Amino acid sequence: MATVFDNTGKAGQGGDAAPARVRHPEKAHRPDQPVMRKPAWIRVRAPLSRAHAETRGIVARHGLATVCEEAACPNIGECWAQGHATFMILGEVCTRACAFCNVATGKPAPPRPDEPEHVAEAVARMELRHAVITSVDRDDLADGGAAQFAAVIIAIRERAPGTSIEVLTPDFRGKAGALETVLRAGPDVFNHNLETVPGLYPSIRPGARYYHSLRLLERAKELAPGVFTKSGIMVGLGETREQVLQVMDDMRCAGVEFITIGQYLQPTRKHAPVRKFYTPEEFDELAAAARAKGFLMVASSPLTRSSHNAGADFEALRRARARTASGA
Ligand code: SF4
């Protein structure tokens, strides 16, 4: 009998059935990490609505992936009930292996040439006013997947011209010209998450470099000053308050206008453990600190995620910029 690992990272017996895909082969033999009990304020809505089923149907009909499902996002019940989903392009398999992420790792398939049309069609069918497009890391591709991002943006512009577009990209590390390719296609929001404080990169985001990610955000603003820039971090991984405040300062120096701060939740026992559950009051306190540092928009709460309420936040961001420009 084959020993398989399910999504919780626990070993089980495969029997005669085909072995389940190991989502995180690099983590399978790591020791189990302790799991902290979730506090009462981490409550999520069960994904049972009719709108949820319709969203699932559209996503499945177009053969698309969503980060909502692949990352086991706690907001899926709420977002999908409202017909919001975040599309994850370039496949469901990531070439990195971050210690916090539930997306499967391994060797990905080549990009689908028809993916841009399918994403655009799904956006139109779902009547999205604001579409959020993200992807897995594609270190195996010469451009890191930048051309596919650009093709998706162009396809959405043609099929759903009234829809604003936000891209949440990988860091494109070592891929010259990738950022330029994405920005030339004209997204409304360029989002790249720093994820955590620099001191935790070696253990939490070992395939990435903090200052590279920061520079990516800064260059996005330099290359396309009209595009809103956005970045986010998770808290609860062992960072200090001072380190979080320093990340805020770094983001502001890079011209980032919108910061998202949410609670890290441990996907499986093989992932990095939660070191602390911040209270809602602590998130409010971080939000106040971020506002004082000059961000145009701040989203900070236990269940804040990059794409949560992204449409409404984009409208608020536009209004905030207009107010700043008029000096109101
Ligand atoms: S917060 Fe983002 S990833 Fe999570 S369910 Fe909503 S749209 Fe999907």
230 three-state secondary structure: strand
The overall pTM is greater than 0.75: yes
Q: C-alpha angle with apex 74: 193 to 95, nearest 5 degrees?
A: 45
Q: What is the pLDDT of residues 274-287, one digit of tens each?
A: 999 999 999 999 99
The H or E element that residue 166 is part of is strand 164-168
Please give the pLDDT value at position 15.
Answer: 35
pLDDT digits over 281-304, tens only? 999 999 999 999 999 999 999 999
Q: How far away, in angstroms, is 67 Cα from ligand 1 center? A: 7
Query: What are φ and ψ of residue 243, in 5° steps?
Result: -65, -40
| pLDDT-derived band at 145, boundaries 50, 70, 90 | very high
| 3: confidence class by pLDDT, cuts 50, 70, 90 | very low
Atom 1 (ligand 1): residue with closest C-alpha?
A: 308
Q: For residue 46, is pLDDT > 80? A: no
Does the pLDDT of residue 9 top 60, yes or no? Answer: no
Write the pLDDT tens digit of every residue in 208-259.
999 999 999 999 999 999 999 999 999 999 999 999 999 999 999 999 999 9
d(CA 173, CA 179): 10
pLDDT band at 310 (very low <50, low <70, confident <90, very high): very high
Helices (H), 62-145: 67-70, 76-81, 115-125
Q: How confident is the model at residue 39 (pLDDT cuts 50, 70, 90)?
A: very high
Would the pLDDT of 13 be above 70?
A: no
Q: Is the pLDDT of residue 8 over 50?
A: no
Calpha distance 26→315 (Å, rounded):
41
**What value does the mean pLDDT take over residues 179-207?**
97
Q: How far is the CA of 81 from the centre of ligand 1 (A)?
A: 11
Of 22 and 32, more confident: 32
Per-residue pLDDT for 327 more than 50? yes
Distance 307 CA to ligand 1 centre (A): 5
Residue nearest (by alpha carbon) to ligand 1 atom 3: 68
Please give the distance, rounded to the nearest whole angstrom, from the Cα atom of residue 85 to the centre of ligand 1. 6
For the chain, what percent of residues have pLDDT higher than 90? 76
Q: How confident is the model at residue 20 (pLDDT cuts 50, 70, 90)?
A: low
Q: What is the pLDDT of residue 97?
A: 86
The residue count of the chain comes to 328
6 pLDDT exceeds 60? no
How many Cα atoms sit within 13 Å of 299 on the Cβ side?
23
Which amino acids bring their CB within 6 angstroms of ligand 1?
67-68, 73, 75-76, 79, 84-86, 305, 307-308
**Residue 118 has which token pair?**
């399918």
Please give the number of the atom of ligand 1 that sits closest to the Cα of 75: 5
Indicate the top mutation candidate among 135, 167, 305 to test ligand 1's pocket, ranked by most ligand atoms within 8 A of CB: 305
Render pLDDT for 112-126 as a digit per residue (tens, 0 to 9): 999 999 999 999 999
Of the pLDDT bands very low, low, confident and very high (cuts 50, 70, 90), residue 322 is very high
3-state secondary structure of 235: strand
Mean pLDDT of the chain: 90
The Cα 38–Cα 273 span in angstroms is 12
Q: Rounded to an integer, what distance in angstroms lies between the CA atom of residue 108 and that of residue 88?
A: 13
Residue 151's contacts (CB-CB under 8 Å, 6 or more residues apart) are 115, 116, 185
Q: Which two tokens stand for residue 200?
A: 């935790």
Residue nearest to atom 8 of ligand 1 (CA): 68
Residue having the nearest C-alpha atom to atom 2 of ligand 1: 307
Atom of ligand 1 nearest to the CA of 308: 1
CA-to-CA separations, 298 to 70, 251, 294, in angstroms, rounded? 25, 12, 10
Q: What's the CA angle centered on 253, arms 247 and 254, to 5 degrees?
A: 90
- Mean pLDDT of all residues in 30-47: 85
* Residue with the two structure tokens 């602390």: 276
pLDDT tier at 7, thresholds 50, 70, 90: very low
Give the integer Cα–Cα distance in Å for 312 and 130: 8
Is residue 132 within 8 A of residue 310, CB to CB? The reply is yes
Amino acid letter, residue 273: P
Atom of ligand 1 nearest to the CA of 74: 4
Residue type, 21: R
Bridge partners of residue 89, in order along the sequence: 135
Element holding 88 (H helix, E strand): strand 86-89
**pLDDT at residue 139 greater than cutoff 50:** yes
Q: What is the per-residue pLDDT for 246?
A: 98
CA distance 161 to 153: 10
Instruction: Find the 77 Cα to ligand 1 centroid distance in Å.
Output: 9
Closest CA to 131 of 59, 63, 71: 59
| Best of 52, 56, 86 for a ligand 1 pocket test (most atoms within 8 Å of beta carbon) | 86
Q: Which of 126, 308, 313 most suits a substitution to test ligand 1, by most atoms within 8 Å of the C-beta?
A: 308
Ligand 1 centroid distance, CA of 24 (Å): 21
- Residue 241, Cβ neighbours under 10 Å: how many? 13
Looking at per-residue pLDDT, the higher value among 240 and 14 belongs to: 240
Choosing from 42, 58, 67 the residue with most ligand 1 atoms within 8 A of its CB, the one to mutate for a pocket test is 67
